[in-house]
Chains A and B, each alone.
Chain A
């Protein structure tokens, strides 16, 4: 569905004609229903790639094509700190804005979305977005983008600064999008948080694709081997053994305790 061919992008640097390359000749395809975890060191080009995929910036060279349609009308991006972009007076209006643009049944959809982030419309609907806590603001910001109902959803470190419960809510939202066969790309430094939802993992290194593989290959090829968090290591070992991810945290902890023989 989405074809990226030899796409390059560079930022303007200090001084005249200085260019700082962010992405160099990147090529790959995405299909409907793909859920990609995008990893890579800070400055590797993750954010730039997401911005290209949502049509916010255009490649200096190469092409990005999605069935000849306008990228900015079929994809939406959730930025780092999306809560910086609130522009409505209340939580309800913030979310309604996206719904109106999506053309879906407004009142039913509003309830659905507000419920998906675990908010009570009566309590939160009239609050000023900026009066919410950081985590709550993030969830509202994510919900307002999800409300646009685009085919391609791009998220840039959506769980940074979120507590465990808010992370679980983000996962729940993305699970719904996945079940609707949307294409999802999540840039993150915490791949384990989305591993069970993902179909693929793409790693960027110095502006190039280091690897782009299925989750099964990611585990089998030990592409994760460097510097794993302990939890991540167990999660991937679990997958290696059972060819599926644990269905709950408890299941994983049981597995770890068995491994440690305690």
Chain B
């Protein structure tokens, strides 16, 4: 087996997705390697969320093929969509239940995750009494607690303050690179500046797929996608 094929974790081959009778993605192909960080950019309505939901198996695709080697952790744009237990602790425990761990191990994992995400103080709080940003923190912790091989993030930091945002980005970059891959959809380029790869969606297709240097050389792709060139790219000399 070639190195490339054994390193690929997620592969989409000519995937087409419809919703409400309209074509959202057309013949979309994408490979994500192990431990790779991929930023997903595109206007609102370009299909970023649809793509992530399709990969997660939450949305049907009409043609094409998706192969994934491992488990998925997903964080939705609106944390409400994924939080259901009454307390923070229950939300962290839930993803572990299917892993058949013993009670002590589950307890340990929850404590560990709570420490990492600064949730120790609020473990027994009702989700409904948490702020939007705190709920986002809980959903990221819950998505990572079962140690998935790929993390799908859909605007996961939109309601977080700057300190939390920075510490989550730090945590994500530590986890990715060691074992986990991440596919991160965002409208804020500043959140993904350091990523390995950038994928831009527009007109239902993949318009760009490459690294930061290539992106800086071809800023016109942003116009093609109906976006403006991100501040971080424009202001660089």
Mark interface residues in A225-236 (1 if CB within 8 Å of B CB, else 0).
Answer: 001011100000
- Which residues of chain B have C-beta atoms less than 8 A from A84's C-beta? 78, 80
Residue contact A14 to B187, C-beta cutoff 8 Å: no
Q: What residue in chain B is nearest A256 (Cβ atoms)?
A: B235
A11, A136, A156, A189: which contacts B161 (Cβ < 8 A)? A189
Q: What are 18 inter-chain pairs, A to B, with CB distance below 8 A?
A: A14-B87, A41-B164, A42-B132, A42-B133, A44-B131, A133-B45, A134-B45, A135-B44, A160-B132, A160-B158, A161-B77, A165-B43, A189-B160, A189-B162, A227-B166, A230-B232, A253-B235, A260-B235
- Which residues of chain B have C-beta atoms less than 8 A from A257's C-beta? 235, 237
For the complex with contacts A165-B228, A189-B165, 4 further pairs of A-B residues with Cβ separation under 8 Å are A14-B124, A133-B44, A165-B226, A227-B166
A20, A163, A227: which contacts B162 (Cβ < 8 A)? A227
Residue contact B234 to A80, C-beta cutoff 8 Å: no
A-B contact count (CB 8 A): 112
Q: How far is the CA of A139 from the CA of B160 in the complex (A)?
A: 21
Smallest beta-carbon distance B168→chain A, Å = 11
**In chain A between 127 and 174, which residues have their CB closer than 8 angstroms to a CB of chain B?**
128, 131-136, 156-157, 160-166
Residue contact A81 to B237, C-beta cutoff 8 Å: no
- A262, CB-defined interface residue at 8 Å: yes
**In chain B between 44 and 60, which residues have their CB closer than 8 angstroms to a CB of chain A?**
44-46, 49
Q: How far is the CA of A81 from the CA of B132 in the complex (A)?
A: 10
| Chain A contact residues, CB within 8 Å of chain B | 11-14, 20, 40-44, 46-47, 80-81, 84, 128, 131-136, 156-157, 160-166, 189, 227, 229-231, 249, 253, 256-257, 260, 262
Size of B's binding interface in residues, CB under 8 A: 41
- Which residues of chain B have C-beta atoms less than 8 A from A229's C-beta? 162, 190
B129, B155, B227: which contacts A160 (Cβ < 8 A)? B155
| Chain B contact residues, CB within 8 Å of chain A | 19-20, 43-46, 49, 77-78, 80, 87, 124-126, 129-134, 137, 155, 158-166, 187, 190, 226-228, 231-232, 234-235, 237
Residue contact A189 to B159, C-beta cutoff 8 Å: yes
A13, A128, A135, A231: which contacts B231 (Cβ < 8 A)? A231
Q: How far is the CA of A180 from the CA of B100 in the complex (A)?
A: 60
Q: How far is the CA of A14 from the CA of B78 in the complex (A)?
A: 24
Q: Are A11 and B235 CB-contacts (below 8 A) given A42-B160, A84-B78, A135-B44?
A: no
Q: How far is the CA of A12 from the CA of B44 in the complex (A)?
A: 37
